[in-house]
Amino acid sequence: MKSMKTRTGLVALAIALPLSLAACGSSSDNTASAGAGSTPAATSSDAMTSTPSDTMTSSESMDAAAAVFGEGCAAVPKDGAGSFNGMATEPVATAASANPLLSTLVTAVKTAGLVDTLNSAPEITVFAPVNDAFAKIPAADLKKVLADKPTLTKILTNHVVAGKLSPDQLAGDHKTLAGTTITVKGSGENFTVGKADAKVICGNVPTANATVYIIDGVLMP
Comparing 75 with 9, which gets the higher pLDDT?
75
In this predicted structure, what is the pLDDT of residue 26?
Answer: 43
Q: Rounded distance, CA 102 to CA 67, Å?
A: 19
Taking Cα atoms as reference points, which of 131, 191, 182, 122 lies closest to residue 157? Answer: 182
- In this structure, what is the dihedral angle of CA atoms 147, 150, 151, 154, given to the nearest 10 degrees? 140
* Whether pLDDT at 66 is above 70: yes
In this predicted structure, what is the pLDDT of residue 65?
Answer: 81
User: Could you give the percent of the chain with pLDDT greater than 70?
Assistant: 72
**Average pLDDT over every residue of 74-91:** 94
